[in-house]
């Protein structure tokens, strides 16, 4: 009976040691779980921040594209306006030259009439 009691004590001590080890392992796992949950929250926050940054970057790129497109349109409008002005300038220059030729012809006609009158 004493041997059985001693055996039971040893088994009880072993199970107590195993129980303490298991409790320690459970506590370590809880600590790891808490740390993993904190890490997960941090990663979720980082993903959210990166997503916002990408969205902001995309918005900036779209704004830049719109701005460049607006500048390009203005440039095209100015080039067309300059082309129109060149056409008008060329037309005005031709009209001035034509007027000068007309005046010259009128002078020549008057001079011819005057010379013809002198000849008679």
What pLDDT shows up at residue 48? 94
Confidence at 22, pLDDT banded by 50, 70, 90: confident
Q: What is the pLDDT of residues 51-108, one digit of tens each?
A: 999 999 999 999 999 999 999 999 999 999 999 999 999 999 999 999 999 999 999 9
**C-alpha span between 120 and 87 (Å, rounded):** 49
Rounded CA gap, 5 and 51, in Å? 67
- Percent of the chain predicted with pLDDT > 90: 81
d(CA 90, CA 84): 10
Predicted model pTM: 0.47
In the predicted model, what is the mean pLDDT of the chain?
A: 93
On the question of pLDDT at 112 being above 90, the answer is yes
How far from 86 is each of 8, 73, 74, 100, CA to CA, in Å? 114, 20, 18, 21
Q: Taking residues 23-44, report their average pLDDT.
A: 95
Distance CA 74, CA 66 (A): 12
């Amino acid at each position: 009976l004493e041997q059985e009691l001693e055996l039971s004590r040893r088994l009880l001590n072993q199970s107590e040691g195993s129980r303490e080890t298991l409790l320690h392992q459970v506590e370590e796992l809880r600590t790891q779980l808490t740390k993993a949950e904190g890490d997960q929250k941090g990663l979720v926050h980082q993903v959210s921040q990166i997503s916002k940054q990408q969205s902001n970057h995309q918005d900036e790129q779209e704004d830049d594209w719109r701005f460049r497109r607006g500048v390009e349109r203005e440039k095209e409008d100015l080039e067309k306006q300059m082309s129109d002005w060149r056409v008008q300038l060329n037309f005005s220059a031709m009209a001035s030259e034509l007027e000068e030729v007309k005046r010259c012809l009128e002078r020549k006609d008057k001079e011819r009439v005057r010379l013809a009158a002198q000849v008679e």
